[in-house]
């Protein structure tokens, strides 16, 4: 019986030891480093192996805390709790998933590719890309002006600047790619009276006499990219909004991230959407808050000698 107790005591002390902490962190590094060199979404999720490693790290921290709880400073105890919350969130996140899909502008899909099961699965709703939006830094271009198919003039300027045309002020605003459609705003004095596009669309008084053509431009630098999304159930919109870098559209515990915008071989634009289900995220955020509080408490103790 004493032999069993000694083995149990040895196991308990080993599980609570700093030696095990170092071993687990080394194993975690060996596990994670190769995954950072690959770029498929399935490698973002830690999976079962990663969850097991973090589970043992959490157990190690719990036992270590229990062994030293009477001697630990309050700040260190708060840091331990924050770390445990973060580890808990990581393990819970392993029950979530990542899915991806490409959607043409103006169309919708109801299935996505889940990387954990490696197959297409129903989303549970229709996801529609209403519009792909791109905003560019100001760039130079040449605008041709026509009146009844007769050339009136050629103007060279930057987007955001204005040129005058028989009592009107014309301002090129942005170019839509890949269609190369230029949108212009038309002013009379300080009053905007409408817009015109080089594809022929106008929202102007009926007697406005001019048409515009994009003659040339310098390739612009992208400033911002986002997509307008809508989630539909039985053809009714249940959620809609924009998705861009670090700002996904959220619906029913799913986050819709815009990861890319491109065109196919026929020039049709599409958006790449990544869908994430991460149930552990609240615990991770709570852990970060506790870690921040504990760190501030520790700094205060070190500076002012408070325990």
Instruction: Look up residue 223 and give its two tokens.
Output: 């400033």
CA terminus-to-terminus distance, the chain: 42
pLDDT of 305 > 90? The answer is no
Provide the 3-class DSSP secondary structure of residue 176. Answer: strand
pLDDT at 96: 86
Query: What is the distance between the alpha carbons of residues 157 and 168, in angstroms, rounded to a whole number?
Result: 16
Give the residue-averaged pLDDT of 228-232: 96
Contact present, 293 and 83 (Cβ < 8 Å):
no
pLDDT at 273: 95
Give the residue-averaged pLDDT of 236-252: 92
Give the residue-averaged pLDDT of 102-106: 95
| Sign of the alpha-carbon dihedral angle for 133, 136, 138, 139 | negative
Contact present, 112 and 275 (Cβ < 8 Å):
yes
Q: Cα 39–43–49 angle (5° rounding)?
A: 155
Tell me the pLDDT band of 255, cut-offs 50, 70 and 90: very high
pLDDT of 283 > 70? The answer is yes
- Enter the DSSP assignment of 43: G
pLDDT at 40: 59
pLDDT of 263 > 90? The answer is no
Q: Identify which of 198, 194, 195 has the alpha carbon closest to the alpha carbon of residue 213.
A: 198
Mean pLDDT over the full length of the chain: 88
Please give the backbone phi and psi of residue 31, each rounded to the nearest 5 degrees, phi first.
-75, -40
Burial class (CB in 10 A: 0-12, 13-18, 19+), 98: buried
Per domain, the residue ranges of the chain are 2-96+280-304, 98-133+223-277, 138-217
pLDDT of 134 > 90? The answer is no
pLDDT of 4 > 80? The answer is no
Superfamily per CATH, domain 98-133+223-277 = DU1608 C-terminal domain (2.60.98.40)
Provide the 3-class DSSP secondary structure of residue 304. Answer: helix
pLDDT of 302 > 60? The answer is yes
Higher pLDDT, 15 or 109: 109
Tell me the pLDDT band of 38, cut-offs 50, 70 and 90: low
pLDDT, tens digit (0-9, with 9 covering 90-100), for 144-189: 999 988 999 999 999 999 999 998 999 999 888 878 899 999 999 8
pLDDT, tens digit (0-9, with 9 covering 90-100), for 56-96: 888 888 888 888 888 888 888 999 999 999 988 888 888 88
Beta bridge partners of residue 230, listed in sequence order? 128, 240
- Enter the DSSP assignment of 20: H
Q: Identify which of 142, 147, 154 has the alpha carbon closest to the alpha carbon of residue 211.
A: 147
pLDDT of 307 > 60? The answer is no
Tell me the pLDDT band of 287, cut-offs 50, 70 and 90: very high
Residue 55 belongs to what H/E stretch? helix 47-68
Give the residue-averaged pLDDT of 245-267: 90
pLDDT at 28: 83
Within 13 A of 11's CA, how many CA atoms are on the CB side?
7
pLDDT at 157: 94
Contact present, 75 and 301 (Cβ < 8 Å):
yes
Entry pTM: 0.70
Alpha-carbon Rg for the chain, nearest whole angstrom, is: 29
pLDDT at 120: 95
């Amino acid at each position: 019986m004493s032999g069993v107790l000694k083995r149990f005591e040895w196991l308990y002390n080993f599980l609570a030891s700093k030696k095990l902490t170092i071993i687990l962190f080394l194993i975690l590094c060996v596990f994670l480093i190769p995954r950072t060199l690959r770029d498929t979404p399935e490698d973002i999720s830690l999976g079962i192996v990663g969850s097991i490693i973090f589970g043992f790290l959490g157990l190690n921290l719990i036992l270590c805390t229990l062994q030293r709880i009477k001697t630990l400073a309050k700040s260190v105890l708060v840091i331990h709790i924050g770390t445990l919350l973060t580890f808990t969130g990581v393990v819970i996140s392993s029950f979530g998933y990542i899915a991806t899909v490409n959607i043409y502008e103006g169309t919708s899909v109801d299935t996505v590719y889940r990387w954990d099961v490696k197959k297409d699965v129903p989303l549970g709703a229709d996801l529609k890309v209403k519009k792909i939006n791109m905003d560019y830094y100001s760039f130079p271009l040449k605008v041709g002006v026509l009146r009844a198919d007769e050339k009136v003039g050629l103007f060279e300027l930057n987007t955001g600047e204005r040129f005058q045309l028989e009592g009107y002020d014309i301002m090129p605003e942005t170019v839509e790619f890949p269609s190369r459609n230029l949108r212009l705003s038309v002013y009379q004095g300080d009053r905007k009276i409408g817009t015109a596009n080089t594809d022929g669309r106008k929202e102007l008084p009926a007697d406005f006499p001019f048409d515009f053509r994009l003659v040339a431009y310098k390739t612009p630098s992208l400033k911002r990219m986002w997509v307008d999304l809508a989630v539909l159930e039985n053809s009714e919109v249940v959620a809609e909004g924009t998705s861009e870098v670090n700002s996904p559209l959220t619906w029913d515990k799913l986050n819709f991230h815009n990861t890319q915008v491109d065109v196919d071989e026929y020039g049709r634009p599409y958006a790449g959407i990544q869908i994430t289900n991460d149930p552990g995220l609240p615990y991770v955020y709570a852990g970060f808050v506790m870690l921040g509080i504990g760190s501030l408490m520790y700094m205060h103790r070190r500076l002012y000698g408070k325990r």
